[in-house]
Amino acid sequence: MIKSIILAAGKGTRMKSDMPKVLHTIFDKPLVGYVIDAVNNTGLTDESFVIVGHKAEQVEEYVHNNYTNAKCILQTPQLGTGHAVSMALPYLKDFEGDVIVLCGDTPLITSENLKKFINQHREKKSDITVMSAIFDNPSNYGRIIRNPDGSVNSIVEEKDANPEQKAVKEINAGIYCINWGKVKAAFADLKNNNAQGEYYLTDIIQWGNEHNLAVNAYTLSDNTEIYGINSRANLAEASKILNNRTLNKLMAEGVTIVDPFTTWISPETEIDSDTIIYPSCYINGKNKIGKYCKIGPFAHLRGDVVLGDYVKIGNFVEVKKTTIKSHTNACHLTYLGDSEVGANVNIGAGTITANYNPLTKVKSKTIIKDNVKIGSNSVLVAPVTIEEGANVGAVGVITKSIPAWALAITRAPLRIIENWVKKQN
């Protein structure tokens, strides 16, 4: 198994935010979470070290609460990327295997390409492998300068490049695979004789060549995977790229997306074939949607939703932390949260599961068994259970559990006063 070092110490000044850059989210998941998950999903790593700095306690809280195999290391002061990696030296002093180094603000990197990257590093018996990408317009990127045999000679920053080097379209993607046993000594030799007074990770390329190590590059086929987040505009663009990637994958697997331009689906959502997603839907978080479902238009799934086959979630319906079994419909203007809904259930328009007590701040569960019918504009005040086959009349406010096959009515009887309007004139 190999280790990973994830650089997440930067402030992200251009984000104009009090929040650390790596905690900004796409589909409510922090950027650094996408990077840690990509590393973990390779199946090749067993431990990650997240280098933190700006508002370190916030990043550390997220990592600690969500990952058991990741540890945060404080970088203070922050003296560059090479210095950041060196913070892991005390934790890896006896480690002799491979280490991958990534940036915590590149959420589009995939585990598939990381596996290929690591495998090429091993197949070529490399000591240092840098990930590269090809850009038609490589402005502002460090250029990969190769030797005639294809190995990497150097990385030249644009401000230092001559015209010939500026014409190179292969750029440094900022991800490295390192034979730690051979290369860890480099971090004691890095110099900070530059305008910023920082220690650059890119300098290990020159160090490797000076020490006769094997230095190579792995070129990405999709350069969007190393798209970095430095501004709100970058965040929006990355969100769009990730969403399009997800929609294309789902459509290739047999899901109908009626309008990809107005549909947003998180990459952690699984949808079976022959389900239709209508326009203007937002599906967030982790969800599992079965076959032959119809979602939308204007539906919002907020995460932890499991839908059986042939379920209909219609227009202006919001669902969160809810399991719904097959052949159940919630077609209009409904909120289902913290609920279990059975099969062959009909949820009338305007139904709300009132799952939150604002006084105790406790959320409770609503359970709706098979074959239940809920009338329009009903409120089910959790915790409550509607047993099998029961019917709830329209405008019902249900505060007690309803037995099987019963009818629950809470509204006042209808009174009709003949000629009342005429009498008022």
Q: How many CA atoms lie within 13 A of 328 on its CB side?
A: 25
Contact 411, 378 (CB under 8 A): no
Q: Could you give phi then psi for residue 393, rounded to 5 degrees?
A: -70, 155
Q: How many CB atoms neighbour CB 130 within 10 A?
A: 29
Residue 179 and residue 291: Cα distance in Å, rounded?
46
Contacts with 13 (C-beta within 8 Å, 6 or more apart), sequence order: none
The phi and psi torsions of 318 (rounded to 5 degrees) equal -115, 135
Q: How far apart are the first and last CA of the chain?
A: 87
Q: How far apart are CA 210 and CA 423, in angstroms?
A: 103
Cα angle: 198, vertex 202, 203; to 5 degrees: 75
Widest CA span of the chain, in angstroms?
104
Structure tokens at 250: 């789902």
The rounded distance, in Å, linking the Cα atoms of 239 and 262 is: 13
Q: What is the chain's Cα-based Rg? A: 28
Distances (CA, A) of 48 to 122, 169, 280, 379: 19, 31, 38, 47
Of 370, 325, 372, 371, whose CA–CA distance to 351 is shortest? 372
Indicate the pairing of strand 128-134 with strand 215-219.
Answer: parallel
Catalytic residue list contains 332:
yes
- Helix axis angle for 31-40 and 111-123, nearest 10°, is 50
Residues tagged active-site: 332
